[in-house]
Amino acid sequence: MEAKEANQHLFFQLYMNRSREASEALLQKVEKAGFSAIFLTVDAAVPGKRERDQRVKGDFAGPAVNGQDRAGNGVAQAISGYQDPDVCWDDIPWIQNITKLPLILKGIQCVEDAEKAYESGVQGIVLSNHGGRQLDFSPAPITVLRELRERRPDLLDDKNFHVFVDGGVRRGTDVLKALCLGARGVGLGRPILYANSLWGEEGVRRAVQS
């Protein structure tokens, strides 16, 4: 947060902890730190079977292992385990009672859930399948966005409800398609991660320009 510019907005991606006390303390800390919104992750309540991840060699023991032997399961398994697999719609008012920050649900994968999110009073949603790493055959976010435009254009046209797309954005034309369908913005994950890993800030600049 020390590197944040004065007018820069930062969002905090929250994974609901099994311990509600821990989640409450984290939410209060995030609000105090000056974040602009909470992105509650709803598409990864349990770790997916990430076979490529499992093939990566290394010592990935982390604080979330909780004493369990997860050798060979990959970094995702090592740093997970604290997430609540029972995160549900009832958690929305619980979070809203703790923080005044806008709440966005990240991981919506169908129009029906988009409708329910809208009715729940959150400020927006992120159409995402968690990079396609959680569940085989999950729909691409841009496909869900197109279905949302066809079936519930009013959700996209509501200025108080923000719809973002995260996943599958590789070129500027992908951004253009999402905006034309009504998204407020897109998320960039792997292109930025790879560019920063190999070439640092200059790599990120080139990735954005491409």
Q: Which of 118, 130, 162, 166 is catalytic?
A: 130
Let me know the angle formed at the C-alpha of 108 by 92 and 182, rounded to the nearest 5 degrees.
110
Determine whether 9 is an active site residue.
no
Helices (H) and strands (E) in the chain, counts: 9, 6
H/E segment holding residue 106: strand 103-108
How are the residues of the chain apportioned to helix, strand and coil, as percentages rounded to the nearest 5? 45, 15, 45
Comparing CA positions, the residue from 126, 168, 141 lying closest to residue 13 is: 126
* Residues 90 and 68 sit within 8 Å (Cβ to Cβ): no
Determine whether 130 is an active site residue.
yes
Comparing CA positions, the residue from 149, 176, 160, 17 lying closest to residue 81 is: 17
Pairing state of beta strands 185-187 and 37-41?
unpaired
Q: Which residues pair with 28 in a beta bridge?
A: none
H/E segment holding residue 108: strand 103-108
- So which residues are the catalytic ones? 15, 43, 130
